[in-house]
Amino acid sequence: MITPNRRSSTRSSVSGGIALHNDAHDGNDKIVTVVRVRPMSDSELLHHCKVVMIPDYGEPGMCIIDPVYFGTDKRESDRKAYERHFHYDHFFWSANKADNGVEVATQEEVFNACAKPLVGHCITGFNCAIFAYGQTGSGKTHTMMGYDSHSEGAGVIPRLVRSLLQQVNEMRLLQQNGVGSYDSKIDVSYYEIYNEKVHDLLSNSTEVGCRVREHPDTGAYVEGLTRVEINNYEDVDAVLQRGQKHRAVAATLMNSSSSRSHAVFNVYLVQTLPNLPDSASFGGSVSVTSDDSSVNSRGSRNGKSSSRSNGSSSVQRQSKVCLVDLAGSERASASGVSGERLTEANSINKSLSALGDVIQALSAKSSKSLHIPYRNSVLTWLMKDSIGGNSKSVMLATVSPTDTAYFESMSTLRYVERAKLISNHAVVNETTSDANVISQLQKQVQTLQKQLSEVQPSGSGHGLKRPGSANNLVDSESSEDLKRMMALVTQKQQVYLHSY
């Protein structure tokens, strides 16, 4: 049996965790790729399945060997022809214990590498996302949820929410002790996408499904989705248990508790903090250009929230963490499903195929000229911001190390390899809530009005010229540009006036 000499590997690390992204927005936030190899199941051990993966810690990743190699009398020197190497940002080997006594990668190690840094990004004001992808029975739900939120077996979701709550409570404590002015609120929602319909896992309603709507500014959202405020660890546990009870699961030949839906757990953080010179800038909240672009306002993606600064200058940050436990891809011949289970499998595979099409389009070199098929499934429609949009995202794949899952593992590894090529465009979702913004907008309006008044029609009617400069003809479109810019700034001013 092939064994590793180290249990995990990452590209880069800093004190206190792995640095996935820089906080400074450079417009090029690559999706971080993580692969975890699960232990062999009892069934795989019983049938003496072979381990066909070898960890590679020099460059985080693995080598996977075609099982055909083991079924022939080929020499060791021939093995390279049957090998395929994959490399990712982080790699975790949990398949078996090494001969030198090193234990397998733990839940805590996986969290520290791929999820803990997102807590800091969320507090900074970035949207974040984690997608767990893999074939059915490969360990996605175990990695994301775990088996006990109070033990070492806790998964990414309970650990992330508890870590975020801990940091927010520490900041609240500092505020109570007179260090700065800080206010915050954490809400969560939990829903599943089952047969292309959205079901609210935290709702007591007996409705068949929730409607997915399209907002012109914030994009797709689930109408009427239940949001629960989180104040302590007990609230976290209650919400997770409540949602898990309602999630669709069923037994198949490949997994005794197979998830039959995609589960999405959202965490919303709204913070109000002092508007210090280094905490926010007017230039980062509003931008106006002379082309056809619009004025951009940050902090409106997750709705409005009242500022509690008692009239003092403050900044409001609104961030969201989207944690997605995707249903596992499966072949009907291998899982042995039929009837209702077969309908579920077809729906799962269809939405995962749509997600693959989106990843393929975004990863293509000429993606700027391609249509991205987000609307081909409810999953990709709702996840538009997390894949190729305003988010710092992680693709976490789980695979089986055995020869019987070779083709499914190869498909998963190729899937995640394409995701490495996608660049998101994460920005700090921040809104300055004091009167200075309105004042500066008013000044921009006045400046544009002055520039427009200086542009006078020429006698010929074919151009425009500025006073005192008879030979300096200005293109007739200039005045239209100024008017358009002034209209944009005026519109943004009205938004601020109605928001506060």
Q: What is the pLDDT of residues 357-375, one digit of tens each?
A: 999 999 886 556 578 999 9
Give DSSP secondary structure letters for 472-492.
-EE-THHHHHHHHHHHHHHHH
Q: Residue 225 — pLDDT band, cuts 50, 70, 90? A: very high
pLDDT at 157 over 50: yes
Q: What is the mean pLDDT of residues 117-128?
A: 95
pLDDT at 391 over 90: yes
pLDDT at 288 over 50: no
Q: What is the mean pLDDT of residues 388-400?
A: 95
Q: Residue 144 — pLDDT band, cuts 50, 70, 90? A: very high
pLDDT at 278 over 80: no
Q: Which residues contact 275 (CB under 8 A, 6 or more apart)?
A: 313, 314, 315, 432, 433, 434
Rounded to the nearest 5°, which phi and psi values hold at 11?
A: -75, -45
Q: Which region among 89-93, 235-239, 390-394, 448-452 has the lowest average model confidence (pLDDT)?
A: 448-452
Pair 342, 330: CB distance under 8 Å: no
Give DSSP secondary structure letters for 191-215.
EEEETTEEEETT-----S-BPEEEE
Q: Residue 313 — pLDDT band, cuts 50, 70, 90? A: low
pLDDT at 404 over 70: yes
Q: Residue 96 — pLDDT band, cuts 50, 70, 90? A: confident
CA–CA separation, 169 and 149 (whole Å): 19
> Regarding beta strands 219-222 and 212-215, do their DSSP bridges make them parallel or antiparallel, or are they unpaired?
antiparallel
- Predicted confidence at residue 307, as pLDDT, reads 41
Mean pLDDT score of the chain? 76
pLDDT at 108 over 60: yes
Tokens encoding 404: 């019987």
Percentage of residues of the chain with pLDDT beyond 70: 69
Q: Residue 414 — pLDDT band, cuts 50, 70, 90? A: very high
CA–CA separation, 147 and 154 (whole Å): 6
Q: What Å distances lie between residue 323 and 154, 158, 165, 464, CA to CA?
A: 15, 11, 16, 56
Question: 3-state SS of the chain: helix, strand, coil percent to 5?
Answer: 35, 25, 40
- Predicted confidence at residue 284, as pLDDT, reads 33
Q: Which residues contact 453 (CB under 8 A, 6 or more apart)?
A: none
Higher pLDDT, 245 or 472: 245
CA–CA separation, 111 and 152 (whole Å): 11
Q: What is the mean pLDDT of residues 260-288?
A: 65
- Predicted confidence at residue 478, as pLDDT, reads 67
> Regarding beta strands 392-399 and 32-37, do their DSSP bridges make them parallel or antiparallel, or are they unpaired?
parallel
Residue with tokens 């839940």: 107
pLDDT at 311 over 50: no
Vertex 352: Cα angle to 348 and 358 (nearest 5): 150
Taking the alpha carbons at both ends of the chain, their separation in whole angstroms is 65
- Predicted confidence at residue 250, as pLDDT, reads 53
The pTM for the full model equals 0.74
Residue with tokens 């998830």: 259
Q: What is the DSSP letter of 349?
A: H
- Predicted confidence at residue 80, as pLDDT, reads 86
**CA atoms within 13 Å, Cβ hemisphere of 233:** 9
Q: What Å distances lie between residue 385 and 149, 263, 335, 395, CA to CA?
A: 29, 17, 33, 14
Pair 431, 316: CB distance under 8 Å: yes
Report the amino acid identity of residue 430.
E
Report the amino acid identity of residue 360.
Q
Q: Residue 297 — pLDDT band, cuts 50, 70, 90? A: very low
- Predicted confidence at residue 343, as pLDDT, reads 79
> Of the ranges 132-141, 251-260, 327-336, which is most confident?
132-141
CA–CA separation, 149 and 154 (whole Å): 4
CA–CA separation, 337 and 100 (whole Å): 42
Higher pLDDT, 327 or 176: 327
Q: Residue 283 — pLDDT band, cuts 50, 70, 90? A: very low
Q: Residue 8 — pLDDT band, cuts 50, 70, 90? A: low
Percentage of residues of the chain with pLDDT beyond 90: 40
pLDDT at 299 over 80: no
20-79: pLDDT as tens digits: 333 444 456 899 999 999 998 888 889 899 999 988 877 788 899 999 888 777 777 788
CA–CA separation, 147 and 297 (whole Å): 41
> Of the ranges 140-144, 472-476, 489-493, which is most confident?
140-144
Report the amino acid identity of residue 234.
E
Pair 49, 78: CB distance under 8 Å: no
Q: What is the DSSP letter of 67?
A: G
> Of the ranges 134-138, 289-293, 414-418, which is most confident?
414-418
Q: Which region among 210-214, 216-220, 301-305 has the lowest average model confidence (pLDDT)?
A: 301-305
Residue spans of beta strands (DSSP E) within 118-182: 128-133
160-174: pLDDT as tens digits: 999 999 999 988 888
